[in-house]
Amino acid sequence: MSQTFNQLRVDVVEEKDDWIGLRIFVDGWPFGPKACVDPADLRESAFGSGKYYILTCGCGTPECADIEDPIIVRYEDRWVIWDCDDRYYPYIADRNDINGDVSPKFIRYRFLWDEYERSVRKALFTLREKIKAKKYEGIAWYGFNPAILDELMPRENEQ
């Protein structure tokens, strides 16, 4: 029996006010409003299971963007599974709610591990190279240290 899975895409975005960061798409839909993606937590989620604030506020504090609980990331066999509470990710609930039900829901995404890691690695590499080539006024969230982008990703030293 085949299992269905979701598609993750992570894009590097540049804005006219000289800011650069990441944008996540799940199954072609933006994951989150114009919240900031935390490259460090996204990177850590490619290492293994844990609780990650993959989205945060522009100041670096998730609660400031009304994100009270992290995304729970689990690795099972060849899957990367994201569980999140739609109270803190309401834009997902709006998209997934087809019956008008407004009660809190747990939302689960299942990604193929190799595709997940490849998408995260590619985005972080591109972000790192763009930052090296140009000076930006803002990178990801305020105070983000781009040195994290120079650290190896899982299996990067094997290639």
Tell me the pLDDT tens digit for each residue of 79-110: 999 998 776 665 555 555 556 666 667 789 99
Q: Give the pTM.
A: 0.83
Helix ranges, 23-78 (H): 39-45
- CA–CA separation, 155 vs 18, rounded Å? 32
Tell me the pLDDT tens digit for each residue of 33-90: 666 899 999 999 998 999 999 988 888 888 888 888 899 999 999 999 999 877 666 5
Q: Which amino acid is at 26?
A: V
End-to-end, the C-alpha distance of the chain in Å comes to: 32
The token pair at 146 is 């781009």
Other Cβ atoms within 10 Å of 41 Cβ, number: 20
Q: Which of 140, 142, 150 minimizes the C-alpha distance to 54? A: 140
The token pair at 116 is 């997940």
Is 123 within 8 Å of 13 (Cβ atoms)? no
